[in-house]
Amino acid sequence: MIKSSNGSESNLMVLFMSICFPAPYSLGAQLYGSGCRFTLYAPDQDCVHLLLWHQGHQPQRLAMREYKRGYWTKEVADVVAGQDYSFEISHNGQTWCVADPYAQAVTGPLSYQPPYTPSQSTLLARCQVVDHAPFDWQGVSSPQRPMCDTVIFETHVKGLTQQHPDVEPAEKGRYLGLISPAMLAFYQQHHINCLQLLPITACLPEPHLLSQQKTNYWGYNPYVWMAPDPRYAEKDAVNELKTAIRELHRHDIEVILDVVFNHTAEGGDGGPILHFKAIDQAMYLQDNQQLRNYTGCGNTLDLRHPAALKLVLDTLRMWATHYHVDGFRFDLAATVGRDGEAFHPHSAFFHAIAQDPILSTVKLIAEPWDIGPNGYQLGQFPANWAECNDKIRDTTRSVWRGDPGKLQDFATRLMGSRDFFSASHWPDHLPINYVTYHDGFTLQDMVSYAKRHNHANGENNRDGHGDNRSANYGIEGPTDDPTIMAVREQQKRNMIASILFSLGTPHILTADLISHSQQGNNNAYCQDNPTSWLNWQTKDHAWSNWFATMIARRNAIVPRFIDALSGTQRHLNQIAWRHSNGDPIQDHQWPNLQTFSCQITLGAHHSNAGQSTLIAINSSDTAQALRLPSDHQWRIVCDTATDETTVTAPEAFQCLAAKSFLVCIDSDWL
């Protein structure tokens, strides 16, 4: 504590000093009253220089001092937001420029010509000082929507609007395109309340892609985690992204970021020297001095390492506080929970998130696997996490394709996959239910291709999922055959209804709203072209309207049943499983079933006590007569046998069409 002239402790002076001079352990570029403090954690270095770049001039080269073991710092007067900088270090006898891992903006080109060299690093590694204070949020706050009321729409910033005819040219494929009038109208029409953006942090293409003049379109090769990718901005990525999020919030739409903390763009031993390999290789898991590769990308970040853990937590807090994002989807999230080779749901990372006053309040979604030992961890994440549920994806595809013996498992998936996600932890620990994701077939391709067609990726069609559980229904690819087209449309309705009306949080590929096709490419990660850019000219209005109506009905129906089946009240409701003739299903009958109905009735504890919903499935190729319970006045709100959306009253024996999914409610409470 600083002493005043009379010997008393001066809290005022301490406060003044903390405002004017950032703490030395605040890494990155920290502006203060008259300049900027640059701090880099680089314990592997004996000497670090700060480079300040000025257009058309040689950089100003300033020696940094080691404030404490591994912490290098330099205060520079008169530096303001917008200043370009990088760090100069030595590695294996060569001088390199490296990026600041804490940089909040980058200005260097996010590309290079392999092999990466020290001379190229002087351009690539350039970062920029950022001041977040001037941005005006205009009093707009986050919707803070419960997870059970959320429908997630997975979206690529560029692909969404690059070909949209009604988006201004300057906004196509950019952050501001997300909030163009055409897109805001689209969100409203389809009841979109949450966008999950594929990675938007600065990334680099892998060397093999650069050698083929391709790019990592999806963005899953992270370079600088705190910097928004400038390729999606017209001028200023920081402020344009903030503007997009503010206006999405103004329209009651949340934003979730897909984040990648399992590896970095430095790749394996032969990859480029970007930062960590030179400043602190201990951030990587080691095995006889070889980088461990639990991701398939060449290296694995070690969150047992204090510097790595701090960087990830600081990054998440930065996005939550400075950009007001509503949550994060963690790519290959089993990696962030590893303690060496073993995954632990009580790892330091999970505990740090749980006790953090900011991060514990946002949406947390895990992709619950990686390719390391025991990498499949579905259902094993902490109770405050949701998880991507591949079980419902695979089972839904199998059931509607006609694979035998899948209906019992399908019933489990419809009821929230409680074999993996105990309802005692609902609504906090919910499955994220999906049938399509960015990595795989689009919905249109699921019903149009029996095999993947990935030749354009340059890997001889060896990449991408092999087990797609898809079908073409007679012809591989597009067709004008009306019979095949009708079957495909019904199968699309079946799969989407299965996701929307199952218990959990639906995840929808935005491309599926307009039936976008990738021509059978189920791994279009390097296709920054019309293969991935949504084709708005082919939008089917009948399909789009049906989809939008079903989303609205899901939002009115499913959350109240999730609520009733959550926590201690989950056993107080009635669930009845029946054959189509109304008889109860016996356990031994499940393996051979092709049809069933499930009726859920809310118990007396619930505010809507006595209300029921009924879901009926016919996976066979012939129609069945469905006997509806006579103690309710039923209304059909979804019948995938048709694209009609009118709410109708069924007959006592309702025709359950072949390959169809039916949803009824017992009153007019939509």
Q: Alpha-carbon torsion 85, 90, 92, 94, what sign?
A: positive
Q: Answer yes or no: is 33 within a domain.
A: yes
| Residue 539, pLDDT above cutoff 80 | no
Q: Answer yes or no: is 303 within a domain.
A: no
Question: CA Rg, the chain, in Å?
Answer: 27
> Of the candidates 128, 149, 182, which is a domain's last residue?
128
Say how many residues make up the chain.
Answer: 670
Q: Answer yes or no: is 402 within a domain.
A: yes
Could you confirm whether 666 is annotated as catalytic? no
Domain of residue 36, residue span: 15-128
Structurally, the chain folds into a number of domains equal to 2
How far apart are the C-alpha atoms of 445 and 463, rounded to whole Å?
Answer: 17
For helices 482-500 and 541-564, give the axis angle rounded to 10 degrees: 20
331, 394, 512, 563: the catalytic one is: 331
| Interval 296-313: pLDDT, tens | 999 999 999 999 999 999
C-beta separation of 345 from 381 below 8 A:
yes
Q: Answer yes or no: is 280 within a domain.
A: no
> Of the candidates 95, 128, 161, which is a domain's last residue?
128
| Residue 494, pLDDT above cutoff 80 | yes
- Partnered with residue 152 across adjacent β-strands are 507
**Mean of pLDDT values over 547-551:** 98
**DSSP notation for 284-297:** B-EETTEE--SSSS
pLDDT of residue 346: 94
> Of the candidates 110, 128, 146, which is a domain's last residue?
128
Q: Answer yes or no: is 76 within a domain.
A: yes
Whichever domain contains 588, its CATH number is 2.60.40.1180
Rounded to 5 degrees, φ, ψ at 352 are: -65, -40
How far apart are the C-alpha atoms of 535 and 545, rounded to whole Å?
Answer: 17
C-beta separation of 442 from 511 below 8 A:
yes
**Helix H or strand E segment including 639:** strand 635-639
Q: Alpha-carbon torsion 458, 462, 464, 469, what sign?
A: positive
Q: Which residues of 385-399 are buried (b: 16+ CB within 10 A; e: fewer)?
A: bbbbbbbbbbbbbbb
| Interval 400-454: pLDDT, tens | 999 999 999 999 999 999 999 999 999 999 999 999 999 999 999 999 999 999 9
How far apart are the C-alpha atoms of 158 and 147, rounded to whole Å?
Answer: 26
Q: Which tokens in the block code for residue 329?
A: 């989807």
Q: Answer yes or no: is 32 within a domain.
A: yes
367, 370, 394, 639: the catalytic one is: 367
306: left (phi over 0), alpha (psi -120 to 50) or beta: alpha
Q: Answer yes or no: is 145 within a domain.
A: no
**Mean of pLDDT values over 357-375:** 97
Could you confirm whether 512 is annotated as catalytic? no
Strand 431-433 and strand 505-509: the pairing is parallel
pLDDT of residue 21: 52
| Interval 106-160: pLDDT, tens | 999 999 999 999 999 999 999 999 999 999 999 999 999 999 999 999 999 999 9
Instruction: Say if residue 272 is preceded by a cis peptide, omega within 30 of 0.
Output: no
Q: Answer yes or no: is 444 within a domain.
A: no
Residue 152, SS3 per DSSP: strand
Whichever domain contains 107, its CATH number is 2.60.40.10
pLDDT of residue 17: 41
How far apart are the C-alpha atoms of 658 and 624, rounded to whole Å?
Answer: 7
